A and B are shown apart, each in its own frame.
Chain A
Amino acid sequence: MAITVNLPSVLAAHTGGARTIEAAGRTLGEAVADVAARFPALGPRLRDKDGKPYPFVNFYLNDEDVRFRGGFAAPVQDGDEVTVIPAIAGG
């Protein structure tokens, strides 16, 4: 079993239409790097040229904002679910 990555439809254009893809890695950063290697057009949408997360692209690990769990350093394991959501706000 791998890590499941859920993408918003706006990013699915870079995965051939797939909104759910699988990834491998021991940390979230490694999983994102794995995705970026397999989908080169998607990579720059998920992280900057230094491999760091953008402030306007949020990652949730099993429904929890990863910034509360160490960001890209957050450990992940098979069966985890990562959801990518563009930053939004309300009131």
Chain B
Amino acid sequence: MAAAINAAAAFGLDTIGCASTGNLANAVAAHAARAGLTAWIFIPEELETAKVVGTSVYGSRLVRVRGTYDDVNRLCAQVADRFGWGMVNVNLRAYYGEGSKTVAHEIAEQLGWRLPSAVVAPMAGGSLLTKLRKGFGEFIAAGLVAGAMPRLFGAQASGCAPIVRLVERGGGELEPEQPRTICRSLAIGNPADGAFAARAIGETGGWAAAVSDPELVEGIRLLAQDAGIFAETAGGVTLAAALALARGGRLGPDDEVVLCVTGHGLKTLEAVRDTLPEAPVIAPRLREVAALVER
């Protein structure tokens, strides 16, 4: 986002915006507030409450659109054209995308300037996969890291998995889908970077996996209970997909695998709230605690 905001300032734009499944909306709203820019943010009507509140709190002009993310995205292309605003994922996309490659830089830095053997990342528009490859490639070319290009693996929810299906099918032409998943942050049925993501996966020797909604919910719980990290639905998809890839032999015991967990679980409480045990309510008496301990 910082790269896109700086580009907007360099172009002399006073209004920015985006189409978003939620997380970009939060980031654009926050950065616009800090930079003193007006922000118009367009999201699908059915987004989770935390993502709506987490955007509107910054004072942005938030608009909920009846339709899918793909409908919102089309509308924003027309908005950018009509009003001349800087839409982060439309006419500022090159700068926004360039900023994404710092994920790869941070992975290398946090591993002590070396590269893992595999990276699993969630795929919505597909851009992150392509920027991971670019970021790793630039560090390798500059001699800043040891090791070969990691194998890149993509994760999607099976209710919206056009990139996974392209990887499995082969070829270069993506077939759009109508999203049907609780993982709204990845619910992009027509990802324009999908073909490029599939190519990055193929050329690095990776693969892709799709997981069901129950599997992604279990992924959220497992990541929380095993690693102490509470992820949103996309993180659950990524963990569950990594497990599926391991079961299928695509990831092995000698691999050092990095999972890109890209959103906090407080944004999608709805996904797990009803799957967790209800906390007992007791009077402030020791014997009631003892009864719970002994139960």
Known: A55-B173, A55-B174. A86 touches B125 (CB 8 A): no
| A15 at interface, CB cutoff 8 A | no
Do A65 and B73 form a contact, CB below 8 Å, given A9-B81, A55-B195, A87-B192? no
- The answer on a CB contact under 8 Å between B81 and A90 is no
Say whether A67 faces chain B, with CB atoms less than 8 Å apart: yes
Give chain A nearest CB distance to B262 CB in angstroms: 9
Give the chain A neighbours of B193 by CB distance below 8 A: 89
Q: Which residue of A lies closest to B125 (CB)?
A: A89
Q: When the two chains form the complex, which single residue of A10, A65, A83 contacts B70, counting CB atoms closer than 8 Å?
A: A65
Whether, in the assembled complex, B90 has its beta carbon less than 8 Å from a beta carbon of chain A, the answer is yes
Residues of chain A at interface, number, CB under 8 A:
19
The residue among A8, A9, A83, A89 with the most chain B CB atoms within 10 A of its own CB is A89
B residues less than 8 Å from A65 (CB atoms) = 70, 74, 176, 190
A91 at the interface (CB under 8 A from B): yes
A-B contacts at CB below 8 angstroms, number: 76
In the assembled complex, B238 has its CB within 8 A of some CB on chain A: no
Interface string of A42-78 (1 = CB under 8 A from B): 0000000000000110101001010110000000000
* A85 contacts the other chain (CB 8 A): yes
For B175, list chain A residues within 8 Å (CB).
Answer: 67
Contact, CB under 8 Å: B127 / A91: yes
Interface residue count on the B side (C-beta < 8 Å) = 38
How many angstroms from the CA of A39 to the CA of B219 in the assembled complex? 54
Q: Which of B16-24, B204-212, B222-230 contacts A (4 or more CB under 8 A)?
A: B16-24
Partner of A88, one of B21, B77, B174: B77
Indicate if the CB atoms of A89 and B81 lie closer than 8 Å: no
Contact A63 B71 (CB under 8 A): yes
| Given A8-B77, A55-B195, A83-B78; A88-B89 close (CB under 8 Å) | yes
B18 touches A90 (CB 8 A): yes
A interface residues, Cβ below 8 angstroms from B: 8-10, 55-56, 58, 60, 63, 65, 67-68, 83, 85-91
User: 9 tightest CB-CB pairs across the interface, nearest first?
Assistant: A89-B125, A90-B89, A89-B192, A87-B192, A91-B124, A85-B77, A90-B19, A91-B125, A89-B193
Having A89-B127, A91-B89, one finds 4 other A-B pairs with CB under 8 Å, namely: A8-B78, A89-B89, A89-B125, A90-B125
Please list 25 pairs of residues, one from A and one from B, whose beta carbons are closer than 8 Å in the complex, sorted by A's number: A8-B81, A10-B81, A55-B172, A55-B173, A63-B71, A65-B70, A65-B176, A67-B190, A83-B78, A88-B77, A88-B90, A88-B93, A88-B192, A89-B73, A89-B125, A89-B188, A89-B191, A89-B193, A90-B20, A90-B24, A90-B73, A90-B76, A91-B125, A91-B127, A91-B185
